[in-house]
């Protein structure tokens, strides 16, 4: 019986199928091992940005905050969250001249909440010890939900940029804030005149004469004081000086309960407002908000129109002192 069993083993080893089966298993194991060694680490790519970008291509991200949101209905109803991103870049001219001088620039990007959450998940997979949090729910997104998510996203971003440079300067972070086609399309659409009034505005193109507004901020005794001092180089309207007045409100604010309006200054491109607006709120709540200050033209007999506006991220303010600054309007419609 031993001799018979030994003969069966020999016949099996000499079998063509046994040899072929062994070769198949060996090839499969080799391919699997090779594929595993060449796979990118988990969390280094995003479904909506197929390529990877770095500080060398896009610059260093200094900060990012959601400043507003817009409803979209195509292909289905959803909300886009507008991001204001501050970054440091080195221009090509500086590289050619071997200069190390960096310049700051501001860009605006648009992301859905699902894209934020995908970014959050990839971050935690790539850096499992960072402890970032971002709430997720499958509830239908309406204005109230979008407003809450603005606060959640800004908390997430604020905590993100407090982390080490290994995380903040990582390719994943740089890639998420890359200017994609969606950003360019929305920005381009906002630059186009929205109505006949827009084409009648006339500006001085000189960089030294860009429209600006002086805003002074102070927090004292549980109150935020917003002092709008003056504006410079406002546009002409049909060749005439505008009748400007200022407005401000804290975003997010669905009901516009924080909306404040100042007095009208007649016929002036360089109005002195000296308007003071007060908000009685805890500092912790103030720091979750963005202050939007805008200047409007009082058209008297027809609808009023915005001449310019600026968003001030209040979490970036040093409240241990008074803050007075000239802000350049980022959007003139």
- Residue 235's CATH number: 2.60.40.150
The mean pLDDT of 154-165, rounded to a whole number, is 94
Final residue belonging to a domain, choices 161, 190, 219: 190
Strand partners, 326: 214
Residue 28 lies in a domain: no
Residue 306 binned pLDDT confidence (cut-offs 50, 70, 90): confident
- On whether both 76 and 167 belong to a single domain, the answer is yes
Last residue of a domain, one of 138, 168, 190: 190
CA dihedral 251, 254, 256, 258 (to 10 degrees): -50
Whether 127 is covered by a domain: the verdict is yes
Regarding whether 205 and 158 lie in a shared domain, the answer is no
What's the confidence (pLDDT) of residue 182?
84
Of the candidates 45, 54, 50, 107, which has an alpha carbon nearest to the alpha carbon of residue 82?
Answer: 107
Q: Are residues 266 and 315 in the same domain?
A: yes
pLDDT, position 303: 65
61-79: average pLDDT = 88
* Same-domain pairing of 209 and 259: yes
Q: Domain total for the chain?
A: 2
Are 164 and 210 part of one and the same domain?
Answer: no
The 10 Å Cβ neighbour count of residue 28 is 10
Whether residue 325 contacts residue 214, with contact meaning beta carbons closer than 8 Å, is answered with yes
Domain contains 12? no
Q: Given the structure tokens 């062994």, which residue do they identify?
A: 22
Asked if residue 108 lies in contact with residue 83, where contact means CB atoms within 8 angstroms, the answer is yes
pTM of the full structure: 0.53
Residues 6+ apart with CB under 8 A from 297: 237, 242, 243, 244, 304, 305, 306, 307
Structural domain including 319 reads 195-328
Among 136, 155, 190, the domain-final residue is 190
Q: Which H or E run contains 3? A: helix 2-13
150-159, 247-256, 318-327: which has the minimum mean pLDDT?
247-256
Residue 75 has pLDDT above 70, yes or no: yes
How do 260-261 and 244-251 pair as beta strands? antiparallel
Q: Is residue 5, in this structure, part of any structural domain at all?
A: no
Asked if 145 and 238 sit in the same domain, the reply is no
Residue 36 domain flag: no
pLDDT for 64 beyond 60: yes
| pLDDT value at 239 more than 90 | no
Contacts of 298 (CB under 8 A, 6+ apart): 243, 244, 245, 264, 304
Residue 286: in which H helix or E strand, if any?
helix 283-286
Is residue 173 domain-shared with residue 60, that is, in the same domain?
yes
Within-domain flag for 41: no
| Of 277 and 304, the one with more pLDDT | 277
66 CB-near residues (< 8 Å, 6+ apart): 81, 82, 83, 84, 150, 153, 154, 157, 290
Distance CA 17, CA 120 (A): 50
> What proportion of the chain, given as a percentage, has pLDDT over 90?
41
Same domain, yes or no: 138 and 173? yes
**Of 158, 159, 179, 61, nearest to 111 (Cα)?**
179
Give the CATH number for residue 110. 3.30.1520.10
| Domain contains 298 | yes
Q: Is 263 in contact with 320 (CB distance < 8 Å)?
A: no
Same structural domain for residues 164 and 211?
A: no
Residue 4 domain flag: no
Q: Mean per-residue pLDDT for 52-60?
A: 90
Judgement on whether residues 113 and 231 belong to the same structural domain of the protein: no
Residue of 175, 180, 234, 181 whose CA lies nearest to 204: 234
Pair 138, 259 in one domain: no
Where b means 16+ CB within 10 Å and e means fewer, 251-280 reads bbeeeeebebebebbeeebebebebebebe
Residues 71 and 182 reside in one and the same domain? yes
């Amino acid at each position: 019986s031993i001799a018979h069993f030994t003969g069966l083993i020999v016949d099996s080893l000499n079998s063509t199928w046994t040899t072929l089966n062994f070769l198949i298993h060996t090839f499969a194991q080799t391919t699997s091992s090779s594929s595993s060694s060449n796979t990118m680490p988990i969390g280094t790519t995003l479904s909506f940005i197929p390529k990877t970008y770095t500080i060398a291509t896009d610059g260093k991200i200094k900060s990012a905050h959601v400043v507003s949101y817009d409803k979209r209905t195509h292909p289905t109803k959803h909300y886009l969250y507008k991001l204001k991103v501050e970054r440091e870049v080195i221009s090509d001219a500086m590289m050619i001249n071997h200069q190390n001088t960096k310049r700051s620039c501001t860009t605006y990007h648009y992301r859905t909440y699902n894209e934020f959450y995908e970014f959050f998940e990839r971050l935690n997979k790539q850096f499992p010890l960072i402890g970032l949090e971002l709430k997720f729910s499958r509830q239908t997104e309406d204005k109230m939900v979008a407003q809450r998510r603005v606060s959640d996203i800004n908390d997430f971003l604020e905590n993100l940029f407090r982390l080490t440079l290994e995380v903040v300067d990582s390719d994943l972070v740089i890639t998420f804030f890359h200017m994609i086609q969606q950003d360019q399309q929305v920005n381009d659409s906002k630059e186009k005149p929205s109505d006949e009034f827009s084409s009648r505005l006339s500006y001085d193109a000189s960089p030294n004469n860009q429209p600006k507004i002086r805003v002074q901020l102070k927090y004292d005794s549980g109150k935020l004081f917003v002092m709008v001092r003056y504006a410079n180089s406002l546009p002409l309207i049909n060749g005439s000086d505008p009748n400007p007045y200022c407005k401000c409100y804290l975003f997010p604010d669905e009901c516009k309960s924080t909306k404040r309006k100042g007095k009208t200054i007649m016929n002036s491109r360089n109005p002195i407002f000296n308007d003071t607006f007060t908000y009685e709120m805890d500092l912790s709540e103030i720091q979750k908000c963005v202050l939007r200050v805008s200047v409007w033209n009082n058209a008297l007999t027809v609808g009023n129109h915005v001449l310019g506006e600026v968003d001030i991220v209040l979490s970036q303010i040093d409240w241990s002192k008074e803050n007075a600054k000239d802000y350049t309007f980022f959007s003139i419609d």
